[in-house]
């Protein structure tokens, strides 16, 4: 058992030890406060330089990397905006060209009906109106061009030359772009009417019988048939940006 004097001595030692710890903590907090003030100055400017003077090279390097990262982010954002503007402008150009082309093709079609001779919509065109296709339930109409090619399809749906002509016996295949002239065929339903008009003023009314998704390399579309049929083909999916191997096909048969 400790004597009262020993207890007082221990209490004095404890008091001195506590005071020493408090002094040390005060010194540490004072240094921390000083560093906090310095950090505040960093935020106002000269962060990297202040960090280097305080012997914090890691902070300096981190801040420089952060600044480089911020610059890179701004440059990337600007580049993305420019790319987005380019694609938006390109898409609008395609849409405008498709609409304008159909106006000119409508005129050429009327001339074809009046003269009975194929008429080009513009002098340098390598294609001409072959038929007019209408979708009464969707209130859509388009001029079908002779032969389906990349250039021809930029102006309207085009007939695949290896298949019978629209209105003739067999399966007539007509291709169109999913984002312009055939963007609406996804809304066709079984039983909907599709009308084909030929240069000979012949009108053939078809009824949609179904639709399917096929691979471009194995469509399975047989062009031989005893009756008049249609196969309307476009790229799939409709909302895709890049061209893929899938095709959406609408089948129809003459009534």
CATH of the domain at 174: 2.40.260.10
| 142 located within any domain | yes
Q: What DSSP line would sit under 156-202, residue for residue?
A: S-EE-TTSPPTTSSEEEEEE--TTTTTTTGGG--TT-EEEEE-TT--
Please tell me whether residues 167 and 54 are part of one structural domain: no
Q: What is the pLDDT of residue 192?
A: 98
Counting the structural domains of the chain, the total is 2
Q: Is residue 84 one of the residues assigned to a domain?
A: no
Same domain, 111 and 156: yes
The per-residue pLDDT for 3 is: 38
Q: 229 lies in which domain range?
A: 100-254
3-state SS assignment for residue 205: strand
Residue 63 lies in a domain: yes
Half-sphere exposure of 90 (CA within 13 A, CB side): 7
Once rounded to an integer, what is the mean pLDDT over residues 68-93? 53
Strands (DSSP E) found in 12-139 = 129-135
pTM above 0.75, yes or no: no
Question: What's the pLDDT score for residue 131?
Answer: 97
Residue 153 pLDDT class (50, 70, 90 cuts): confident
| The last residue of a domain, from among 57, 73, 89 | 73
The predicted model gives 137-145 an average pLDDT of 96
pLDDT for res 101? 77
Q: Is the pLDDT assigned to residue 146 strictly greater than 80?
A: yes
In terms of C-beta density within 10 A (0-12 exposed, 13-18 middle, 19 or more buried), how is residue 163 classed? buried
108 shares its domain with 198: yes
Q: Which residues contact 144 (CB under 8 A, 6 or more apart)?
A: 129, 130, 131, 132, 133, 156, 157, 158, 159, 166, 174
Range among 71-80, 143-152, 167-176 rated most confident? 167-176
Residue at 91 is within a domain = no
Task: Report the pLDDT value the prediction gives residue 4, as an integer from 0 to 100.
Answer: 35
Asked if the structure places residue 90 within a domain, the reply is no
pLDDT the model gives residue 213? 96
Residue 117 in any domain: the answer is yes
For residues 60 and 105, membership in a common domain is answered with no
Whether residue 179 lies inside any domain: the answer is: yes
Tell me, yes or no, whether 42 and 155 share the same domain: no
What pLDDT score does 246 carry? 96
169 shares a domain with 69: no
Q: Is the pLDDT at 182 greater than 60, yes or no?
A: yes
Q: Are residues 121 and 235 in the same domain?
A: yes
Q: Which helix (H) or strand (E) holds 16?
A: helix 4-44
Whether the predicted pLDDT of 176 surpasses 50: yes
Residues 20 and 115 both lie in one domain: no
Whether 60 and 155 map to the same domain: the answer is no
Shared-domain flag, residues 66 and 134: no
Looking at residues 200-215, what average pLDDT do you find? Answer: 96
Q: Are residues 62 and 104 in the same domain?
A: no
Task: Classify residue 43: in a domain, yes or no.
Answer: yes
The yes-or-no verdict on residue 223 having pLDDT over 50 is yes
> Are 55 and 169 part of one and the same domain?
no
**Residue 174, phi-psi category: left (phi > 0), alpha (psi -120 to 50), beta (remainder):** beta
């Amino acid at each position: 058992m400790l004597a009262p004097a020993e207890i007082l001595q221990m209490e004095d030692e404890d008091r001195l030890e506590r005071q020493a710890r408090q002094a040390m903590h005060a010194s540490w907090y004072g240094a921390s406060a000083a560093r906090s003030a310095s950090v505040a100055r960093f935020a106002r400017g000269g962060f990297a330089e202040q960090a280097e003077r305080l012997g914090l090279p890691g902070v300096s390097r981190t801040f420089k990397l952060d600044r480089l990262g911020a610059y890179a982010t701004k440059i990337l954002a600007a580049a993305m905006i420019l790319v987005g503007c380019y694609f938006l402008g390109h898409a609008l150009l395609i849409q405008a060209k498709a609409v304008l082309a159909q106006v000119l093709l409508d005129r050429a079609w009327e001339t074809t009906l009046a003269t009975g001779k194929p008429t080009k919509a513009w002098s340098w065109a390598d294609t001409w109106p072959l038929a007019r296709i209408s979708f009464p339930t969707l209130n859509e109409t388009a001029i079908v061009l002779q032969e389906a090619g990349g250039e021809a399809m930029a102006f309207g749906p085009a007939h695949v030359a290896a298949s019978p002509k629209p209105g003739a016996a067999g399966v007539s295949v007509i291709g169109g772009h999913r984002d312009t002239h055939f963007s609406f065929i996804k809304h066709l339903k079984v039983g909907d009417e599709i009308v084909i008009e030929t240069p000979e003023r012949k009108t053939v009314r078809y009824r949609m019988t179904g639709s399917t998704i096929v691979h471009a390399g194995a469509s399975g579309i047989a062009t031989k048939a005893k009756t008049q049929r249609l196969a309307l083909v476009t790229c799939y999916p409709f909302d895709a940006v890049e061209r893929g191997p899938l095709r959406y096909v609408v089948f129809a048969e003459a009534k």
